[in-house]
Amino acid sequence: MPRFSEEQKKISLLLLHEPKTAEELNKQLNIPYNKLVEELKGLMKLNVVSKEGFPTKYRLKENIASEVLRRKRIAEQDNNAMRIRAYIEMQAIEQDLLEKNLNNLADAMKKDSNFMVYSLEKAKIVKQEEYYISYLEVNLSVKDFTSLVKFMFFYAPTSIEVIKPEKISFLAQDFQDGLVDMADMINKYSAYITKLLNKEELEKFHEKLYR
């Protein structure tokens, strides 16, 4: 998925309701004109913006505008403090099984009251050696620190990015609850691993884990 610069985000918001010329955008944004033109070219290359008429006006493409408005409506109902983007990789020995697991995980996230899902996309399933592999890209907000801990353990993202805010504070009780949940999950996972591995395998596992 493309990543937009802060300037491109500002330009897109101004184009949300009506097309504008580069000069009009320049008057409304604190962006040097040459930089503005480069950012517009970048948006056109990403197939987000088109240009039309004379004088030339730039328009946000209809599907992009619809998606921005959809997310804006979600944001108006969202009281959660933290927005994140995460990638969750999955694999299975059968394509149908992987498809089912991806759908189940996506449905679980959408129904989870701890999150507000802004977007959730499934990557194309590909085969690598004997496994079928895919991933989910999810953009969501989390209610509190405890919810973030649950997301990390129950959904096991392979990578995660904090979209906003730049700074955040948690209530002591929320932080305490999250740490208690984290300790409980780690201990259960450790006990489960210990049962599965013999002594030699366990030593190798710990060596890799703490190296």
d(CA 37, CA 23): 10
Tally the domains of the chain: 3
* DSSP tag of 17: S
The answer to whether residue 49 sits within a structural domain is: yes
Q: What is the pLDDT of residue 106?
A: 93
Question: What whole-number percentage of the chain has pLDDT above 90?
Answer: 55
The residue with tokens 């801990």 is 149
Segment 66-78 shows an average pLDDT of 87
- Residue range of the domain that includes 117: 80-168
Alpha helices, DSSP H, located in 77-144: 95-111
pLDDT in tens, 90-107: 999 999 999 999 999 999
pLDDT for position 4: 77
Domain co-membership, 93 together with 160:
yes
Indicate the DSSP class of residue 124.
Answer: P
pLDDT confidence tier of residue 149, bands split at 50, 70 and 90 = very high
**71 part of a folded domain:** no
| SS3 letters across 154-203 | HHCCCEEEEEECCCCCCCHHHHHHHHHHHHHHHHHHHHHHHHHCCHHHHH
Same domain as 101, residue 139: yes
Question: Distance between CA 162 and CA 211 in Å, rounded?
Answer: 27
Residue type (1 letter), 157: P
Gap between the Cα atoms of 65 and 50, Å rounded: 12
Q: Is 163 in contact with 80 (CB distance < 8 Å)?
A: no
Cβ atoms of 142 and 113 within 8 Å: the answer is no
Question: Is residue 73 one of the residues assigned to a domain?
Answer: no
CATH of the domain at 84: 3.30.70.260
Q: What pLDDT, on a 0 to 100 scale, did the predictor assign at position 127?
A: 92
At 177 the pLDDT is 93
Q: Whole-angstrom Cα distance, residue 168 to residue 79?
A: 14
Q: Which pLDDT score, from 0 to 100, does residue 191 have?
A: 82
- 12 sits in which H/E element: helix 6-14
My answer on whether omega of the bond before 55 falls inside 30° of 0, hence cis, is: yes
CATH of the domain at 16: 1.10.10.10
pLDDT at 155 over 70: yes
At 172-185, the pLDDT tens digits run 999 999 999 999 98
178 and 157 co-located in one domain:
no
Whether residue 75 is contained in a domain is answered as: no
pLDDT at residue 164 above 90?
A: no
**Statement to judge: residues 150 and 176 lie in one domain:** no
Task: Answer with the residue of higher pLDDT: 165 or 206.
Answer: 165
Residues 31 and 87 occupy one common structural domain: no
Same domain? For 107 and 158 the reply is yes
Which of 22-31, 158-167, 182-191 is predicted with the least confidence, judged by mean pLDDT? 182-191
Q: Which pLDDT tens digit goes with each residue over 44-68?
A: 998 899 998 889 999 999 888 888 8
Q: Are 35 and 60 part of one and the same domain?
A: yes
Same-domain status, 158 and 179: no
Cβ–Cβ under 8 Å, residues 13 and 22? no
Beta pairing class for 82-92 and 159-164? antiparallel
Residue 206 scores a pLDDT above 70: no
- Amino acid 3 reads R
Query: How much is the mean pLDDT over the chain?
Result: 88
